Structure 1
Amino acid sequence: MYGFKGDFGKTNSKKELPESQRADAVSSMVYEANARLRDPVYGCAGAISQLQKQVGELQAQLAKAQAELVNMQCQQTNLITLICMEMSQQSSHQQQEPMFLQQHESYNMDTSCFLDENNLGASWEPLWT
């Protein structure tokens, strides 16, 4: 039987722990004792509160970065649209292949990432949860 009595403010009832959990229990008690020494008022609760605050700040930074990514993707889509419109206008005026295409016949622009609705949706989803 592995019991704890009143140590570190624990209850007086004996608790039996399986041997596989004993090392974790001791480690936890040592951490709690050290946390109480560092912060006599809040102990572990103070550390948990600080970590929760950090998580919140990091989530806000992530949301901001995701919003910036969506903004850049929209700007790139708009730029490609403008280029295509300009090329189309040149083609209709000149009735010939635009010089750009003549010089870069082998150039293939992959715009599938802009048409993939799942790509943009995945970026927006975390902003609203």
Structure 2
Amino acid sequence: MNSGRCAACKSQRRKCPSDCIFSPYFPANDPQRFACVHKIYGSSNVGKMLQEIPPNLREEAANTLYLEAKWRIEDPIYGCVGIISSLYKQIQNAEIELAKIQTQIAFYKLQTQQQVIEAEPNMEVLQSQSSNMEQFEVDNLFEWENPTIASWFN
């Protein structure tokens, strides 16, 4: 029990009873919270809803009623559905962007693998050319240094 009246009782200009259903969820220091809920649902309906809900779920219900009422006041046509739709579109756009990026990564990986595969045969050609060149140098070495020894290998 708060020492003063809750926002609901202040709004309705009545004394706040000790077992006030609104008191825990609509404190006096936040009158705008109750004003939004009252404007959309009415205090009688909110009181009935809170009484029908188990005590452990009432705080969550009061928060939900407040947020839905606030969004309904901000956007009378779509309310919270407009917010949800906007968030859903943002998620879809993010998923599309993620798919594009994953495709680009896969493309670059394939392109890199392709370059490695193309480079490997070239490395073999270069290595075989290099060994052929060494053999050529050895053959020429024998011819220049000692023509008699070179004739033994021919």
TM range, smaller chain = 0.5 to 0.7
Give 2:104's aligned residue. 68
Amino acid corresponding to residue 90 of structure 2 in structure 1? Q
Question: Is 1:85 matched up with 2:125?
Answer: no
CA distance in 2, matches of 1:76, 1:23: 57
> Please, which of 67, 70, 88 is the counterpart of residue 52 of structure 1?
88
Which digits, 9 at most, give the CA deviation of each residue in 1:32-82, with x for residues without a partner?
011011101110111111111111111110000000000110111012112
> Please, which of 27, 46, 59 is the counterpart of residue 23 of structure 1?
59
Superposed structure 1 runs of 4+ greater than 4 Å apart: none
Amino acid corresponding to residue 41 of structure 2 in structure 1? F
Higher RCO structure (Cα 8 Å, ≥6 apart): 1
Consecutive unaligned residues of structure 1, counting only runs of 5 or more, are: 97-129
SS in 2 for 1:95: helix
SS in 2 for 1:40: coil
TM-score (norm 1): 0.61
Consecutive unaligned residues of structure 2, counting only runs of 5 or more, are: 1-20, 22-39, 133-154
Percent of residue pairs bearing the same amino acid type: 29
Amino acid corresponding to residue 71 of structure 2 in structure 1? A
CA distance in 2, matches of 1:84, 1:92: 12
- Matched positions, count: 93
Bigger CA radius of gyration: 2
